[in-house]
Structure formats: C-alpha cells, structure tokens
Amino acid sequence: MDAINFFLIGITVVFVAERTEVSNRKQLYKLINLTTMLIVFVHTNSRLSNLE
C-alpha cells in the first residue's frame, strides 16, 4: 500500500513539474522538499491507522 502511495505522489510531482515548467532550481528544490514532507506525512498516517 505504501509503495503505491509513493508511486502516485512521484507521478503527481513529475506531472506538476512538467506542467509548470520549473526553470528555477530553487522552485524545484522547494517542490522536492514539499514532496518529501508529503511522503513522510502519508507514511506516518498509514502507520498510525495500522496501529489502531
């Protein structure tokens, strides 16, 4: 389940990056940081729901 979430998030990020045509490296790094936070959030969320 987690692998599927990561895969979907990755595709979304690539899609957004393609659509917005990220020319600035700072924007790209910001996007990567947001993605990482999103992945961690989703991961901890699924962990917590599994514990219940």
Question: Following DSSP, what letter does each residue of the chain receive, concatenated?
Answer: -HHHHHHHHHHHHHHHHHHHT---HHHHHHHHHHHHHHHHHHHHHHHHHHH-
Count of structural domains, the chain: 1
pLDDT at 34: 84
Q: Which domain holds residue 39?
A: 2-51
- pLDDT tens digits for range 36-47: 888 888 878 877
Measuring CA to CA, which residue among 12, 20, 18, 15 is closest to residue 39? 12
- pLDDT tens digits for range 7-50: 887 788 777 777 766 667 777 788 888 888 888 888 788 777 77
